[in-house]
Amino acid sequence: MAVFAMATVCDAQKVTLKTNVPTLAFGAANLGVEFAIAPKWTLGAEGTAVVFNPYDSFYANGWLATGEVRYYTCKAFNGHHFGLYGNAGRFGKLNIGEGFISKVACGGQTAAMAENVKMASVGLSYGYYFKLGTHWSIDATVGVGANYAGSRSDWAFGLGRAQLALGYRF
């Protein structure tokens, strides 16, 4: 009976390890984990660290941590999902120029180059979890919310999360 009980518990605890593939193009390592905590709910965390910087004029030596709780419309790790996320991070320098991203991240203001940049955001996300087989998946997620970057004391509303993750589910 004990063996049966342990097998049932292990089957109910589904876990996905994943990496946000586009971050590799920016020289950053990314690893995340997502746990099923109920039939339609998951809890996830991921971390990103800059390990190689091919674009020295854009950013340098930084990290970003993300936490997210998700509700799946069908069942965990399948189809559409809605979430609540939070990000926190720091970069040695950040050059986001005069474009759209700068205006979103910096409250409508622009920054030529900022040193020792602290970043944070909190918001709502939507995504779709594509099953590629028994274990492999692709998770596409986008989130909007309140974003803070740099030394400014104001927050701005806009894009705060974007992910195209390749995952392996146990």
Choice between 113 and 147, residue whose per-residue pLDDT is larger: 147
Q: What is the mean pLDDT of residues 111-122?
A: 75
**Paired tokens of 11:** 């089957």
Cβ burial 139-148 (10 Å sphere, 16+ → b, else e) = bebebbbebb
- pLDDT of res. 118: 84
pLDDT per residue as tens digits for the range 30-51: 999 999 999 999 999 999 988 6
Domain that holds residue 111: 14-169
The structural domain count of the chain equals: 1
Identify the three-state secondary structure at position 138.
strand
Answer yes or no: is 6 within a domain: no
Answer yes or no: is 9 within a domain: no
Answer yes or no: is 147 within a domain: yes
Q: What is the mean pLDDT of residues 129-134?
A: 93
C-beta of residue 128 within 8 angstroms of C-beta of residue 80? yes
- In CATH, what number is assigned to the domain containing residue 112? 2.40.160.20
**Paired tokens of 54:** 């091919």
pLDDT > 90? residue 20: yes
pTM: 0.78
Answer yes or no: is 5 within a domain: no
In this prediction, residue 54 has a pLDDT band, given cuts at 50, 70 and 90, of low
Task: State the average pLDDT for the chain.
Answer: 81
How far is it, in rounded angstroms, from Cα 78 to Cα 152? 39
